A and B are shown apart, each in its own frame.
Chain A
Amino acid sequence: MMEEVKEVTSTLSVHGHNIKVTEVLKDGDTLTFLIVSQKLSGTGEHHVDRTYDDFEWLQQLLFSQEDEPGIQGVIFPSLPAKASANPSAKVMKQLGFLGLGEWQLYCKVLERYLRQVAAHSILSKNKAVEIFLTSSEPPGRQRARKNLFNRLSQAVEERRKEGYKRFLDVVQSEQKIAVACAHFSASLHLCVEPGEDPDKQAFSKACVQLSEVFDSIKKNMTSVAENDMNTLGLGLDLESRCQEAEKEMLFRRTCKLVELEAARRNAEKAKPLKKAAMEEAKKTAEIEFNDICVVAKQEVHRFRAARVKMLQHTLVQWCEKQLLTAKESADQFNQQLQAFRGIAP
């Protein structure tokens, strides 16, 4: 256990853009993630292992940087829902795309979170980030404080847009088709009829070849589903949490505005005894609100640009991968068709 963090700000000693979450290990019900980062000095790497709770620790500390002016105007990178080694059906639903594969997407999301934090001009200065990425011991477990930053509840899947859910359905259908093809392919092998009879042999050969065809179809569908998950699925997932994060920030700003209005009214109505104090409070509130607005404006600008870039990247990747898969599959089918035509009638 580390001692209480005294100094809050510092500069990060590792590169932010190539932080990697390389592996996930299962220990009973807990998942442990291996994180690798490159030292700025170029002298090597840091390897640390962290659990989800450690990520939450980091998030909490980032939220609680109260001395940082305008901190409430920051659009915080968001964490996915907590995953366990044997997730319940409810958790799987919450995870959406992230629960579909073998945690590769989940790792990617955590990786992205860390990269965003490390790249953020304000957040990266928090010492907690340095500790998280470089300390060989697990960071402390600070109890989650209820504050405005914790509004992001677990009911994420209800707030997801239709597009996300529909695409999830699409991917799941694709996976089902792959399974059905595998069963059909296996069953065809059982139809093979022994014997010298040329018709029997022709039929058996047709069954075997058809079985191979359906095996290819299964492989194709599996690839298509994977491509969908890894590119557009991941993109939609990030996008949905990003939008939530932006909303959260705007909400905080609104709350601050409400406070400010209250402070102004108080200052107006104040009796002469209290007037000076109220004026002081009003000025503080005004400064705080302005700070938030300054940060918020920058953040929204940066954010929107990043969002467009990410979606573009996602769509291009998705398209390229699917195109490649389709071409491979077409080649394969063509070969099989030629082989079929070659069987004696």
Chain B
Amino acid sequence: MLLVKNTLNPRSKGNEDEVVLHSLFTVFQLDEEGGEEEQEDEFEISISVKDPEKIGGLHPTNDVNVFQTQLAMFRNKTFTVRRRFSDFLGLYEKLSEKHGPNGFIVPPPPEKSILGMTKVKVGKEDSSSADFVERRRAALERYLQRVVNHPSLLQDPDVREFLEREELPRAVGTQALSGAGFLKMINKATDAVSKMTIKMNESDVWFEEKLQEVESADQQFRKLHTLVESLVVHRKELSLNTASFAKSTAMLGSAEDNTALSRALSQLAEVEDKMEQLHQEQAANDTFSFAELIADYVRLLGAVRGSFDHRMKAWQRWQDAQAALQKKRETEAKLLWANKPDKLQLAKEEIAEWEVKVTQYERDFDKVSATVRKEVNRFDKEKAKNFKREIINYLECHLQSQQQLIKYWEAFLPEAKAIA
């Protein structure tokens, strides 16, 4: 089983703040060496998601893949739980219901993939299904890491239950979250909001600008994703072609009478084989550093738009309450004029009710606006950090590849020169 530790935010040494969150928790802390960045958060949790195991026959109608998460705590105390893919989706559902309307940006999980999962269920063992499994595992890891990095979400009891509890009750209602379904949901919400005929009187121009930025970023990222996927395809192609070439060169070498030439050709075949390995690694690098990252951000931007929508809804609710209040006041005026004292009393009571509601909804709207603003700023910060980190990773890998390549060529040169 492959263990991939996905550690974030390495701390500089000597900064050991302790945080007591709840009586349920002790201390979350991670000792990491060699941190370059400053640590703003007061705690860290490291999540790693291991390779899935199949537990056949238990839940025939649902995903049979199971994931393990490992929670690294202070003094290397770790624990492991098994989770199904639907559990991750279930977690998202709960968090999104609870926190979405308040303007929080709830990280979205990876989508269901019917094709990918069918292959895995059927037991088809080929490179594309192995690829799919790895991509999903990594995506789940990143998803969970984002959730626990969010200071507010981490405090949610559902999150803690997800991380700690032995057995989770089966999540229901996750059918909506297939890949296409998820996108549809986001688009529907956005359409509904844009269909609102009452244009929001945007007193704070920040929100208007931000929304535009988010929408244009969304477009750009989708485009980038397509381009990176295309790059990955070509790299894989190169890898395959290099392997074929290596094979045919090896055959040429063995068919050759001239011994010097024969040896050179076999060495050429070996060099090409090594290069094929490098190309494969490069393709994986492209995939994970960029394609997956960009896909994550396409989903995240959807969630950001979602939070703007929730703010819009909160505003709408406030406006509707104000309109209702206005109506009640008109009714009161009419009743005064018509002189119907008992109905008037009722009307006055209703007005009081609605006044309370209006005040409440205005406060809610302000609160949501403040949350959205804070969340978006946090999102921007995280985005800049994430991208920078991934790019550095990518460059380091790429540089390593090149240096390896140099070694291979340097080894081959004397062999080529020695042909006589």
Residue numbers of A with Cβ under 8 A of B are 161-163, 166-167, 169-170, 173-174, 176-177, 180-181, 183-184, 187-188, 190-191, 193, 197, 199-200, 202-203, 206-207, 209-210, 213, 217, 304, 308, 311-312, 315-316, 318-320, 322-323, 326-327, 329-330, 333-334, 336-337, 340-341, 343, 345
B188 within 8 A of A: no
With contact pairs A183-B227, A191-B217 given, residues A197 and B380 touching in the complex (Cβ less than 8 Å): yes
B interface secondary structure, majority: helix
Are B264 and A337 closer than 8 Å at their CB atoms? no
Docked-complex contact A169 and B241, CB < 8 angstroms: yes
Q: Does B94 contact A (CB under 8 A)?
A: no
**Interface segment, B57-65, B173-181, B189-197, B402-410?**
B402-410
Quick check: A200 and B227 within 8 Å, CB to CB? no
B268 interface hit (Cβ, 8 Å): yes
If A166-B241, A333-B398, A340-B392 touch, does A200 touch B417 (CB 8 Å cutoff)? no
Known contacts A169-B244, A340-B392; A316 and B238 CB within 8 A of each other? no
Write the chain A residue with the least CB distance to B251: A162
Q: Which of A177, A322, A330 contacts B234 (CB 8 A)?
A: A177
Residues on the B chain within 8 Å of A322, using CB: 409
User: Chain A contact residues: over half helix, strand or loop, or mixed?
Assistant: helix
| Set of chain B residues within 8 Å of A161, measured between Cβ atoms | 248, 252
B237 lies within 8 A of A319 (CB) = no
- Within the complex, the shortest CB–CB distance from A189 to chain B, in Å, comes to 10
A193-B213, A334-B399 known; A312-B406 Cβ under 8 A = no
Can you list 15 residue pairs at the A/B interface with Cβ under 8 Å?
A: A162-B244, A163-B251, A167-B245, A173-B238, A184-B231, A203-B384, A311-B264, A311-B419, A316-B417, A322-B409, A326-B405, A326-B406, A330-B406, A337-B399, A340-B388
Is A206 a contact partner of B238 (Cβ separation < 8 A)? no
Complex CA distance for A162 and B245, rounded to whole angstroms: 8
Would you call B230 and A170 a contact (CB within 8 A)?
Answer: no
Contact yes or no, A326 B409, CB < 8 A: yes
- What 6 A-B pairs come out closest when comparing CB atoms? A173-B238, A312-B419, A166-B245, A323-B409, A315-B416, A162-B248
Chain A residue numbers with a CB within 8 Å of B247 are 166
Given A162, A188, A199, A217, which contacts B384 in the complex, CB threshold below 8 Å? A199
Q: When the two chains form their complex, are residues A170 and B245 in contact, meaning their CB atoms are under 8 A apart?
A: yes
Having A191-B220, A319-B409, one finds 11 other A-B pairs with CB under 8 Å, namely A166-B241, A166-B245, A177-B234, A184-B227, A184-B228, A197-B380, A203-B383, A304-B258, A311-B264, A319-B416, A326-B405
CB of B22 closer than 8 Å to a CB of A: no
- CA distance in complex: A340, B406 (Å): 23
Most A C-beta atoms less than 10 A away, residue of B237, B249, B388:
B388
Cβ of A184: which chain B residues have Cβ within 8 Å of it? 224, 227-228, 231
B258, A308: Cβ atoms under 8 Å?
A: yes
Interface residues of B in 364-410 (CB under 8 A from A): 377, 380-381, 383-385, 387-388, 391-392, 395-396, 398-399, 402-403, 405-406, 409-410
B84 within 8 A of A: no
